[in-house]
Chain A
Amino acid sequence: MVQNIIDVRNLSKSFDISSKEPGLKGTIKHFFRRQTKSLKVIKDISFEIKEGEIVGFLGANGAGKTTILKMLCGLIYPSEGSILVSGYLPFRRKENFLKNITLIMGQKQQLIWDLPPIESFYLNASIYDLDKFEAKKRIKKLSEMLEIDEELFIPVRKLSLGQRMKSELLAALIHEPNILFLDEPTLGLDINAQRNLRKFLQKYNKETNATICLTSHYMKDITSLCKRVICVHEGAISYDGKLNLLLKKLSPVKEILIVCRTEEDAIKLENSGFTVKNKINNEITIKIENNSITSSLKTILNNFDIEDLFINEPPIDEVIGKVLIKNNYDI
């Protein structure tokens, strides 16, 4: 049986936020009497993650996804509740815990700007107590996987964003952590670089059985990497389960564009009891529930003269977009 590697119980986090009224009056008032209020950004959440799982955290900006990741890796201190990651309390930042994890933030870098990435790699290797031979071996292996052999010796400032991100990944993975926290790892990358990064993460997960917790606003990252998603809405978990179930629930029908041989056939189809979205000349778009798609298509093909048909999946961004603004969907 696969063990839970992350166990979160009734976790909450509050931040003290100071507010200021606009204008000079507000500024003076703020100077003499600062008003702060406690804002609960994570509200009593619980979940477990099994070893080797890739879990995507979904949510609108400010929903609390990154705060959850930061608490899981021990960067910030939880206000209430408990977190166990690989058997450790993250915030204590015990050396063995830190050697087991890594955090990659798409918009932050740890590489030394004016030096080639290889210098940062060897530095990280020594921080994680790797000897030179082992470090060399791992740098070779990871740079081959990431296809950045030539970029290792070029100053970071001269690398492209994609090359830099790959180098960041290498720096963050040199100690071969078995839990990866990735906060928008593909942010700002072009389509090819995004695809390569996803391929790399899939490979890394397969080869090392590493657990990956990921946040991303690129739905392709989520759909190609994560079987399970945790949706966060205003600091609370609104859905925790399989991604395909969520998609089915949120998008129970498919749209089918049917091109009939003649307009008469299209009119006949329009009046045959299917839910019609629209009809233009001999083209008609109908909506069919996911669970009856095969039988419905069989009926259509047997009874009407069809020239062509197209099954349109609703855009994933649109479907997930519903998750980001709603809080009331039960699977």
Chain B
Amino acid sequence: MISNLINRKIFTLLKVQYSNMLEYRVEIALWAISGIIPFFMLNIWTNNNLNESINISDVMLSRYFLCAFFVRQFSVVWVVFSFEEDSLMGKVSPYLIQPLNPFFRYFAQHLAEQITRFPFALIIAFFFFIFNPESIWIPNLGILLLSIVSTFLSFLIQFLIQSIVACLCFWTEKASSIERLLFIPTLFLSGLLAPVVSFPAYVKSWIYLTPFPYLIDFPANLLSGNETNIRGGLIMQILWIFLLFPLFKKIWFEGTKKYTAMGS
């Protein structure tokens, strides 16, 4: 019953946010194009034959970076910036006294944006295959489904991390500066710039204990068909979600006590 109600609320939120996102389709196309860092990295790796040192073929590497692009497209999160602005401007006040946590609005906004991005991401992939026809492959259905699940879990982890940071707005007002600190390990350790497998063994052992490699590296390896521990990766993703969710709830509960409804 409760889950049905939540689903109905989320579904309506999603529909409304999707309509809203369609108003910004040009901007979303540009955002999708702006996420092509993995293709630059692919170029750097292949031109310098760096992949030879980690025993990944050119084809597998290009598939990895294409998948990294896809995973990034569907797991990018900006909730900290939206919440910070809404919180500082007092826009969050009306949502706080509605019987639905305001973060569901941001959650729906992100999902709606991902749906809007999807066709643009496909177009970019189409052009990628035109220039790299040897990289074309069709993942089997099971792997594709697991990759979708894993990408969604990656999105959830990032959403929870940023939501926790966003809640720090109740104390610091400029929580986005903390997010910028997190952006550095996210960039270097998530697999966006280089597959985690390319790191030295002792560094890797530490990296795998953090949530970062499960954000892009794991789902991208899974989708591209590179060797990866599927069960271990999925378990780690779920574990991180179970760890972060209660932390978010606690910090939200304590933070709202500090809320001063500024700007209103």
A-to-B contact residues, CB < 8 Å = 15, 66, 70, 73-77, 91, 93, 95, 98-99, 101-103, 105, 107-110, 112, 114-115, 119-120, 122-124, 126-129, 172, 183
Contacts and interface: CB of A to CB of B under 8 A. Distances in A.
Contacts of A126: 8-9, 12-13
Contacts of A129: 5, 99
The SS class assigned to the A binding surface is: mixed
A66 B126 CA distance: 56
A129 B4 CA distance: 11
B260 A76 contact: yes
Contacts of B20: 112, 114-115
A115 B23 contact: yes
Given A74-B97, A105-B90, A105-B94, 6 more contacts: A76-B260, A98-B97, A115-B19, A115-B20, A127-B98, A183-B264
A103 B264 CA distance: 12
B259 interface: yes
Contacts, number: 78
B93 to A, nearest CB: 6
A75 B16 contact: no
B91 interface: yes
B257 interface: yes
B9 to A, nearest CB: 5
Residue with the greatest number of chain A CB neighbours at <10 A, chosen from B5, B24, B93: B93
A91 B261 CA distance: 13
A91 B90 CA distance: 17
Nearest to A128: B99
A305 B192 CA distance: 97
Residue with the greatest number of chain B CB neighbours at <10 A, chosen from A101, A108, A114: A108
Contact of A110 (B9, B23, B94): B94
The contact size tier of chain B is 20 to 34
B138 to A, nearest CB: 38
5 contacts: A75-B97, A77-B257, A108-B90, A110-B94, A112-B20
> 8 closest Cβ contacts across the A-B interface?
A126-B12, A110-B94, A114-B23, A95-B99, A98-B99, A77-B257, A123-B16, A127-B100
A15 B260 contact: yes
Interface of B: 5, 8-9, 12-13, 16, 19-20, 23-24, 90-91, 93-100, 256-261, 264
B23 to A, nearest CB: 4
Contact of B97 (A15, A93, A107): A93
B97 A76 contact: no
B16 A122 contact: yes
A98 B96 CA distance: 9
Contacts of A91: 257
Contacts of B258: 77
B261 A110 contact: no
Contacts of A76: 259-261
Contacts of B95: 110
A231 B12 CA distance: 42
A155 B11 CA distance: 21
B85 to A, nearest CB: 13
B16 A105 contact: no
B99 A108 contact: no
A221 to B, nearest CB: 19
Contacts of A75: 93, 96-97, 259, 261
Contacts of A102: 97
Contacts of B256: 77
A91 B253 CA distance: 11
B12 A103 contact: no
Contacts of A105: 90, 93-94, 264
Contacts of A74: 96-97
Contacts of B9: 126-127
B258 to A, nearest CB: 8
